[in-house]
């Protein structure tokens, strides 16, 4: 049996200092392995990618963004990963949302998120270039630079 197919919308949430918000998570099946990733998640039935991006941003950060501010996707990729013993093939679209830095609220996390996400951090491109921590997508630095995000 092949991997479970999934589609997702992800958000590159960038503050006024060109820092991107990432969450630190773990796979319950392998809790010693930590990694950083962007806000976002799977599409609900009948939901567009942009609608999912706005909903996920609200649920995972507390930030409410009108659909008109989501814009067009800036990056697409396909990723393969395992989570809680299930293998996935995920097609995902990334959107940029700019916002002044705010206090992130994870009150909208579902049970899986609450159990598998333990931290968030606003990362500069320079910090991402220097860290040994795993982050996704793996080409995040290149994507941010292509979008004109400065390394400071």
Confidence of residue 13 (pLDDT cuts 50, 70, 90): very high
Nearest-angstrom CA–CA distance, 7 and 107: 24
Q: What percent of the chain has pLDDT over 90?
A: 97
Buried/exposed code over 120-150 (b: 16+ C-beta within 10 A; e: otherwise): bebbbbeebeeeeeebbbeebbebbeeeebe
pLDDT tens string 85-127: 999 999 999 999 999 999 999 999 999 899 999 999 999 999 9
From CA 97, how far away is CA 93, in angstroms rounded?
13
Please report, for the chain, the start and end positions of each structural domain, with discontinuous segments joined by +.
Answer: 4-101+116-146
Provide the CATH topology of domain 4-101+116-146. Answer: Nucleoside Triphosphate Pyrophosphohydrolase (3.90.79)
Q: Read off the pLDDT of residues 54-92 as tens digits, 9 standing for 90 and up.
A: 999 999 999 999 999 999 999 999 999 999 999 999 999
């Amino acid at each position: 049996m092949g991997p479970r197919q999934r589609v997702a919308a992800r958000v590159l949430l960038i503050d006024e200092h060109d820092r991107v918000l990432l969450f630190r998570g773990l796979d319950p099946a392998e809790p010693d392995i930590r990694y950083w990733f962007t806000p976002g998640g799977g599409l609900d039935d009948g939901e567009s990618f942009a609608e999912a991006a706005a909903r996920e941003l609200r649920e995972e950060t507390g930030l409410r963004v009108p659909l008109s501010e989501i814009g067009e996707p800036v990056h697409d990729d396909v990723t393969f990963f395992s989570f809680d013993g299930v293998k996935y093939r995920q097609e995902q679209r990334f959107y940029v949302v700019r916002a002044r830095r705010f206090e992130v609220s994870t009150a909208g996390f579902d049970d899986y998120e609450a159990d598998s996400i333990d931290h968030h951090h606003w990362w500069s491109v320079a910090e991402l270039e220097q860290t040994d921590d795993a982050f996704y997508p793996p080409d995040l630095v290149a994507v941010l630079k292509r979008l004109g995000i400065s390394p400071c």
